Amino acid sequence: MKLMDVVIPTGVISPGTLIGEAFRECVKHGVGGLPFVNAEGEIIGRFSLRHTFKSLCLPQDLSRHAHLLGDKICSESTPEVVNGDILELAVDPFIITAHIATVTPHSPVIKALSIMEKFNSGYIFLLDDERYVGVVTRMAVANLLLKYHKF
């Protein structure tokens, strides 16, 4: 099994991209995050669906006590999410710049899974000689296993 067999080619996010555009790219490819690149095309951060939602509408007191929540609170306490205002915001303030873990086409699958586990992430970026190729996700690895073993 090679990572190149499971990599999902995607577009990249650049400064000024709207959250709505980033969401669309994530949804189109079924990935949880995308690389954030500067004008030279160098990866300087990552856009993460989880981090964006967390920053915009999931304060710690809410997520920590999620198991206690009833069904009447969410829509009223986060109107900017419900009315779609967040889609018009630029992604820049929500970019994660720390721990941009990457793998290469020669990395074993177990390494990719290990890094995802370490950083509590469902995806990792694949770079070939510093050039962005795409995203490797757990889902894609599982899909490959099924195909490889004709299960």
Partner 1 sequence: MIAEPAAELTLDMLIALAVMLAAYVLIFSEVLHRTSAAIIGSVVMIGVGTAAGFYSQDMAIQAIDGNTILLLTAMMMVVAMLRPTGAFEYVAIVLSKASRGDSRLLLIYLSLAVSIISMFLDNVTTVIIFAPITVLIARIIEINPMPFLMAEAMLSNIGGASTLVGDPPNIMIGTAGGIDFTRFIIHMGPTILLVWFCTVMLILFLFRHHLPRVEKPVDLDEKRAIHDRAGLKRSLFALAVIIVLFFVHHILGIYPAYAAFVGLCIVLLLEHPEPGALFGQVNWSVLAFFVGLFIIVGGVEKSGLLHWVGLQLVDLARDPEALLLTGLAVMWCAALLSAIVDNIPFTVTIIPIVLGLEAMGVNITPLWWALAIGVGLGGNGTHIGATANLIAIAESERCGIRGAAISPMAWMKVGIPTMFFSLIVASVIYTFFFSTFL
- Candidates 29-37, 68-76, 85-93, 113-121; binding stretch for partner 1 (CB under 8 A): 68-76
- Candidates 46-54, 57-65, 90-98, 116-124; binding stretch for partner 1 (CB under 8 A): 57-65
Q: φ, ψ for residue 111 (rounded to 5)?
A: -65, -45
CA atoms within 13 A on the CB side of 118: 11
What does the CA dihedral 53, 54, 58, 60 come to, rounded to 10 degrees? Answer: 180
Angle (CA) 70 75 81, round 5°: 135
For residue 119, give both structure tokens.
Answer: 């950083």
- Residue 77 interacts with partner 1 (CB under 8 A)? yes
Task: Give the one residue of 16, 39, 64, 149 binding partner 1; rule: CB under 8 A.
Answer: 64
For the chain, the maximum distance between any two Cα atoms, rounded to a whole number of angstroms, is 50
- Residue 62 interacts with partner 1 (CB under 8 A)? yes
- Residue 69 interacts with partner 1 (CB under 8 A)? yes
Q: How far is the CB of 71 from partner 1 (least distance, A)?
A: 7
Task: Give the one residue of 72, 131, 149, 150 binding partner 1; rule: CB under 8 A.
Answer: 72
Cα 63 from Cα 29, distance rounded (Å): 27
Residues that bind partner 1 in the complex, under the rule CB under 8 A: 59-62, 64-65, 67-73, 76-77
